Amino acid sequence: MTTDTSLIDSIRTRRDIDAVQLHTLLEQADEHLVAALRCAAQEQAVAVYGHDIYVRGLIEISNICRNNCYYCGIRRDNRKVQRYRLDKETILACCRTGYELGFRTFVLQGGEDAYYDDSRLCDIVGSIKHHHPDCAVTLSLGERSRESYRLLREAGADRYLLRHETADDSHYRQLHPDELSPVHRKECLFNLKELGYQVGAGFMVGSPHQTVDHLMSDIRFLQELQPDMIGIGPFLSHSDTPFHDQPDGDSDRCLRMLAILRLLFPKVLLPATTALGTADPLGREKGILYGGNVLMPNLSPMAVRKKYMLYDNKICTGDEAAECRACLSKRMEMIGYRIVVDRGDVKKI
Ligand code: 5AD
Ligand code: FES
């Protein structure tokens, strides 16, 4: 039987997909179809970014969170977590180490921790930009007011990552308690965009109750938002959350989704995430081969690594930043790519 790959051409040329096509690409076992999808996505990524891989140094500044998302290991109600937060000097020290290792983007990620009010955060962001004016500062600190986002932008923040988690309102409510609102989340993303941030949205693949129609809504939402970056990874259960007995997301499905996103958004920044690398030992390599072009290794101090467990068995929690950096360089070389010393902005033309 010959494989009909015309739907891949149709997606690539129209830069659009319908529910039937998405269904076929996600559910069909035909390995030739999957190979054709991978090749098309890889070709598209190489056409825009060559074999360059951008890296972002991830600094997990706090695992204290006011939220109680059902999937997340650092949710408020998880009493087993040893809570921590990093002070300014520690964060600056992480950036210094990262800079020496060739990072030109720092991502400050954390739970929604009220300690980091606008004045503390603006001071931290301003200091990073003062010491490393050639670097981009990315924040990934959840939902804040428009005014707060404005002040942080003014203080020098360049980018903001806020996964929308799911674009479907009823699915959103299956993943979050009532106190969190899907409407507010989307509002935050549009506010960030309006304020001139480069914005990253995204979602988990295989989160509990997720259907192909939900993924279709995610694509429609992304087409509306037009983010600079899309972060996706498989859902992985955490033993101390309400979703402890839910099955993990399938990493192959996540790879297919990455490839589809690359065809729909040819220039978007697409990370091969840590969750993908946790689900499959070669997940990050495969993520690149399915159209990814970004890696986000951990720069957090060793002492806190194991405390930022969003899901079970997270990789790289025992490795120094320098070890991860060297390991990733080697992994990328093995598949014919190279990590570059660059801010890694989205290519506009
Ligand atoms: N499995 C996979 N990803 C997760 N995240 C949170 N919990 C999990 C989990 N159990 C993702 C969310 C969040 C990002 C920081 O990590 O999508 O936005
Ligand atoms: Fe804080 Fe999920 S509980 S991000």
**Is 335 a residue whose pLDDT tops 70?**
yes
The Cα angle at residue 323 between residues 321 and 328, in degrees rounded to 5: 95
Virtual CA dihedral for 232, 200, 15, 256, nearest 10 degrees? -10
Q: Which of 81, 203, 204 to mutate to test the pocket of ligand 1 (most atoms within 8 A of CB)?
A: 204
Ligand 2 atom nearest the C-alpha of 71 is: 2
Q: pTM of the prediction?
A: 0.97
Q: Distance (Å, rounded) from C-alpha 346 to C-alpha 137?
A: 14
Domain annotation covers residue 348: no
Mean pLDDT of 108-119: 98
Which ligand is in closest contact with the Cα of 78?
A: 2
CA 98 to chain centre: 19
Which pLDDT band holds residue 29 (cuts at 50, 70, 90)? confident
User: Tens digits of per-residue pLDDT, 217-248?
Assistant: 999 999 999 999 999 999 999 999 999 999 99
Q: Which of 66, 74, 204, 241 to mutate to test the pocket of ligand 2 (most atoms within 8 A of CB)?
A: 74
Domain annotation covers residue 330: yes
Quote the domain boundaries for residue 28. 6-340
Eight-class DSSP state of 98: H
Q: Distance (Å, rounded) from C-alpha 287 to C-alpha 293?
A: 8
Which pLDDT band holds residue 197 (cuts at 50, 70, 90)? very high
**Is 349 a residue whose pLDDT tops 80?**
no
What's the mean pLDDT when you consider all of the chain? 97
**Which is it for strands 52-55 and 136-140: parallel, antiparallel or unpaired?**
unpaired
> The CATH number of the domain where 150 resides is what?
3.20.20.70
**Is 1 a residue whose pLDDT tops 60?**
no
Closest C-alpha among 148, 77, 183, 64 to residue 112: 64
Virtual CA dihedral for 233, 236, 241, 243, nearest 10 degrees? 100
User: Tens digits of per-residue pLDDT, 129-169?
Assistant: 999 999 999 999 999 999 999 999 999 999 999 999 999 99
The total domain count for the chain is: 1
Domain annotation covers residue 347: no
Query: What pLDDT score was predicted for residue 4?
Result: 81
Which ligand is in closest contact with the Cα of 230?
A: 1
Q: 255: which 2 tokens?
A: 């790879």
Domain annotation covers residue 345: no
Q: 82: which 2 tokens?
A: 């040893």
Question: What are the distances in angstroms from CA 327 to CA 10, 150, 221, 255, 323?
Answer: 38, 37, 35, 21, 6
Q: What percent of the chain has pLDDT over 90?
A: 97
User: Tens digits of per-residue pLDDT, 263-318?
Assistant: 999 999 999 999 999 999 999 999 999 999 999 999 999 999 999 999 999 999 99
Is 74 near ligand 2, meaning CB less than 6 Å away?
yes
Query: What pLDDT score was predicted for residue 2?
Result: 66
Domain annotation covers residue 1: no
Closest C-alpha among 235, 230, 250 to residue 312: 235
Domain annotation covers residue 129: yes
